[in-house]
Amino acid sequence: MKLKSGETVLIPQETKDHLLAHPEIWDVLEEALSKVESNIRDFIIEEVDMGRFIGKSGAIRLTESTMSQIKKLQFAKRVGRENWSRVITGAEAPDCNSVVVIASREDDNNYKLITAYVGWLSEREPTDPGLTVGDLPKSLKFWSSYALVYDPEIMGPIKELTWPEAIFGLHV
């Protein structure tokens, strides 16, 4: 697969494993990448408007009404992941027309895909093992008002946890 600017996008096995949680991406990934200009960036984080409905976003913004009804936070582990993701049940994923692509520059001619998903740009999850301590407050603020729509096809059982339990594995 290639970017619009001509660089090849490499997809290592670890990324393929990571994308097991985003099976719908394979239908649109090549097209989305073909719309991205590298501009010789070391790191690409881009939301690509596909110009049409392409699927459902996995993330949903929680309304004040929804948040007031939540008694306990719910988390699940997505396939191919060790970290917990905040989830919500009984909600419908919103229609989406965009793909997020994240890739890092390997050399002059190649980028390595880190992730891609149908949806909009978001903060890294507070439970992401690569998240820095400095980015944790911003991540928690974002994910306190967003959740992934629970999908048993790509997620394990739901567990009620606090943020510290989910992030640091306390009492889990």
Pick from 100, 101, 99, 67: which is nearest to 86 by CA?
A: 67
Pick from 6, 5, 10, 3: which is nearest to 34 by CA?
A: 3
Residue pointed to by tokens 């891609």: 116
Task: Count CB-CB contacts under 10 A for residue 40.
Answer: 9
Residue pointed to by tokens 């394979």: 26
8 A C-beta contact, residue 88 and residue 75: no
8 A C-beta contact, residue 156 and residue 69: no
- What pTM did the predictor assign? 0.89
Q: Are strands 55-56 and 59-61 parallel, antiparallel or unpaired?
A: unpaired
User: Distance between CA atoms of 151 and 42, rounded to whole angstroms?
Assistant: 34
Long-range contacts (CB closer than 8 Å, 24 or more residues apart) made by 163-171: 163/73, 163/126, 166/73, 166/75, 166/84, 166/86, 166/126, 166/127, 167/126, 167/127, 167/136
Q: Is the pLDDT of residue 172 over 60?
A: no
Give the single-character DSSP code of 164.
Answer: H
Q: Is the pLDDT of residue 150 over 90?
A: yes
* Averaged pLDDT score across all residues of the chain: 93
Which has more pLDDT, 66 or 148?
148
Q: Read off the pLDDT of residues 19-44 as tens digits, 9 standing for 90 and up.
A: 999 999 999 999 999 999 999 999 99
The radius of gyration of the chain's CA atoms, rounded to the nearest angstrom, is: 17
Q: Read off the pLDDT of residues 59-108 as tens digits, 9 standing for 90 and up.
A: 999 987 667 667 789 999 999 899 999 999 988 899 999 999 999 999 99
Confidence (pLDDT) at 91: 87
- Continuous segment of H or E residues that includes residue 108: none
Q: How far does CA 20 lie from the centroid of its chain?
A: 12
